[in-house]
Amino acid sequence: MDARSPHDVAAPLDHAEIRTIIIGVMLAMFLSALDQTIIATALPTIGSQFGDLESLSWIVTAYLLTGTAVTPLVGKLADIHGPRPVLLIAIGLFLIGSIACALAPSMIGLIIARAVQGIGGGGLIALAQTIIGLLVAPRERGRYQGYFAVVFISSSIAGPILGGFFAEHLHWSLIFWINVPLGIGACVMSDRALRRLPAHHHPHRLDVLGALLMCAATVALLLALSWGGTHFAWISAPILGLLGLSVVIWGGFALRMATATEPLLPTVVLADQVVRTGVPAAAFAMGTLIGLSIQMPLYLEGVLGLTASESGLALIPLMGGVVVGATGAANVMARVTHYKRLPLIGLVCGIASMVLLTVWPYGLPVAVVALATGITGMGLGTVLPVTTVAVQNAVPLPQIGIATAVLNFFRSLSGAMLTAGFGAIVIGLSGIEGSALLERLLSGHAQVEPLAEAFRWVFGAAAAALVLSLVMTLAMEERPLRSGHAPAPMPE
């Protein structure tokens, strides 16, 4: 039993307590975000040590599969039991997986440990945003979403640098051991203060069958996206079989949602106009960002002729632009009534920048490319806090957890899909197989013209995705942001 008195539970949190929770939550988010980037530069060293280069992609895929699949389930658990115990369990699973990764005796052991780590890491980001939704009124919440954008960009920059340094000069296992002190710090900073959170959770029934169906459908889809174009041809029996299996299971999940007494994804949440427009707006924006961040180094090195270190510097405008756009939009939201205007302007500018690179994928100065990607990053950044706050503002407090989890689930899924799509365009239109493309790029003999032509279509696809995000943002209802924790109006 919790020893707090009713007065303690009801007492409002002061600024110092909120700040302590925010710092602890941001540290938990940093754990998950860093682990998605720090592994990349250490992969060749890990493959060499275990003598298994064929399975390297599964180190990333295993984390992505479990992390994406459990996100909605974690949100529902937070609504049932409150975010504190679920957050602590997620951090615990993440730390157990991290230690198992560091001690893994083989490649298969490392892959299994990464899957366990993904279960914990997948819930950290959604839980962090849920906790902010319970702590801070929607009108003031945007500024904290900007802080979270800083966490993501910091991890994007620090992760590859730390991973490469540990792998080259120390030992690759340190990329997992570093999670232990960070995770303990997140637990200590969050646990005590989170006990003061008002008890917004309500008794719900967990839809276990719905959760299993969603996880299975997601795993089948992401396996197809991960293997397509690499292990198997896109039009092959294994890929088509996985896609067909995913469609069938998604159909079963939809049937379950329509018939369950209390489905995993409440239809009242999905039916809300802000949710059904804000979620795809955020998904297309985040998917474009993830896809570009993975494919741009190949463009910078293979088309513009930059070195690996130079391409890393040339990526800073894209990632830094997201920080500028997110923090700017987050701060503006608290001061204006028509908070959609900034992401609409940002998306139009981002689309124009992608169109510029579509028309001239080859021959532009590096400075112009950096300016264009920086403008695109700022446009993408404006979308993320606005959609998150708008969705949380639209649902009642007991459903903030699942609404936030749905948002993050589709953002992650869109990231996987657009990354796979951009990669398929590059491999398919450049006329070079993936492994040969990498070898020729490293040797300095990559074919510039075919690669530039392939990226013309990548930038065009990115512009199209941003157009879809713009359409969804335009369609999203601009409801007044609540200044307190009064229940959100239910959709008509």
CATH number of the domain encompassing residue 312: 1.20.1250.20
Residue where a domain stops, chosen among 235, 263, 291:
263
Q: Are residues 159 and 215 in the same domain?
A: no
Q: State the pLDDT at residue 78.
A: 73
312 and 444 housed in the same domain? yes
The verdict on 338 and 439 lying in the same domain is yes
User: Which token pair is 262?
Assistant: 């209390």
Exposure of 13 in the CB half-sphere (CA atoms within 13 A): 21
Does a structural domain hold residue 297?
yes
The answer to whether residue 167 is domain-embedded is: yes
Q: Are residues 244 and 388 in the same domain?
A: no
- pLDDT, position 91: 85
3-state SS record for 239-276: HHHHHHHHHHHHHHHHHHHHHCCCCCCCHHHHCCHHHH
Residues 432 and 292 in one domain: yes
In 3D space, the residue among 281, 270, 291, 271 whose CA is nearest the CA of residue 406 turns out to be 270
* 77 and 150 housed in the same domain: yes
Does any domain span residue 490? no
Whether 223 maps to a domain, the answer reads: yes
User: Within a domain: residue 461?
Assistant: yes
**Phi, psi at residue 490, to the nearest 5°?**
-75, 145
Is residue 121, in this structure, part of any structural domain at all? Answer: yes
DSSP-derived 3-state class of residue 232: strand
Boundary of a domain, candidates 171, 197, 223: 197
CA 422 – CA 31 distance, rounded (Å): 27
**Tens of each residue's pLDDT in the chain, 492 residues:** 344 443 444 445 566 666 667 777 777 777 777 776 677 667 667 777 777 665 666 777 677 777 777 777 777 777 677 777 888 888 888 899 989 998 988 888 888 998 888 888 877 776 776 777 667 666 666 556 556 666 766 776 677 677 767 776 788 888 888 888 888 877 777 676 666 665 555 556 667 788 788 778 877 887 787 677 667 887 889 999 999 999 999 999 889 888 887 777 777 777 888 888 999 999 999 889 888 877 787 788 778 877 766 776 787 788 778 878 887 887 787 777 788 888 999 999 999 999 999 999 888 888 999 999 999 999 998 998 888 888 888 887 767 767 877 887 788 778 777 877 787 787 777 765 544 454 555 455 455 777 888 899 999 999 999 999 999 999 998 888 766 554 444 444
Q: Is residue 138 part of a domain?
A: yes
User: How many Cα atoms occupy the beta-carbon half-sphere of 464 within 13 Å?
Assistant: 10
Same-domain pairing of 282 and 413:
yes
- Cβ within 8 Å of residue 219, ≥6 positions away: 65, 69
Let me know: does 137 contact 117? Beta carbons within 8 Å.
no
The CA angle 5-10-12, to the nearest 5 degrees, is 125
Are 256 and 399 in the same domain?
Answer: no
Q: Are residues 239 and 321 in the same domain?
A: no
189 and 41, same domain (yes or no): yes
Asked if residue 275 and residue 258 are part of one domain, the reply reads no
pTM: 0.73
Q: Kindly state whether residue 366 falls inside one of the protein's structural domains.
A: yes
**Domain around 464:** 266-482
CA nearest to 31, candidates 138, 141, 165, 190: 190
Counting the structural domains of the chain, the total is: 3
Residue 182: both structure tokens together: 């960070």
> How distant, in Å, are the alpha carbons of 84, 209, 422 from that of 3?
16, 35, 54
Nearest residue to 40 via CA among 294, 239, 364, 331: 294
One domain for residues 330 and 477: yes
Report d(CA 478, CA 322) in Å as an integer.
23
Whether the CB-CB separation of 428 and 97 falls below 8 Å is answered with: no
For residue 201, what is the enclosing H or E element? none
- The pLDDT, as a whole number, for residue 8 is 40
